[in-house]
Amino acid sequence: MLVVADVIEDRRHPVSDEDKELFGIDILNAIRSEIPAVTHVDMSARIQTVHKETNPRYHALLSAFRCFMGTDIDLLVAGNCVARKEDQNASRRVD
């Protein structure tokens, strides 16, 4: 973990009055943004990096996967998350 950055405003979800009353583990489970897996309770995100020089096997594994936007897949479902390619930022499309 090298960098801490604030999640941009238009990706954040408003904090409800109910969420403001949460405590302990419950506050961690509250959905705070469109990218809940990396959004902390203070609306920050910690950037994770893997360098080829320091961890070549893990880097190679991660590099072997193609991202959703670079495939012919139109719809991606993971758990209760549904991503439609047409709803994504077109600039992320990779040939």
Q: Per residue in 1-48, pLDDT tens?
A: 567 899 999 999 998 999 889 998 898 888 899 888 888 899 999 877
Query: How many folded domains does the chain comprise?
Result: 2
One domain for residues 39 and 8: yes
One domain for residues 91 and 60: no
Domain range for 35: 1-64
Burial group, residue 22, by CB count within 10 angstroms (0-12, 13-18, 19+): middle
Quickly state the pLDDT bin for 94 (edges 50, 70, 90): low
One domain for residues 52 and 71: no
The whole-number pLDDT of residue 1 equals: 56
Indicate the helix (H) or strand (E) that contains 4.
strand 3-6
One domain for residues 37 and 52: yes
One domain for residues 27 and 42: yes
Reply yes or no on whether the pLDDT at 64 is more than 80: no
Q: Evaluate if pTM is beyond 0.85.
A: no
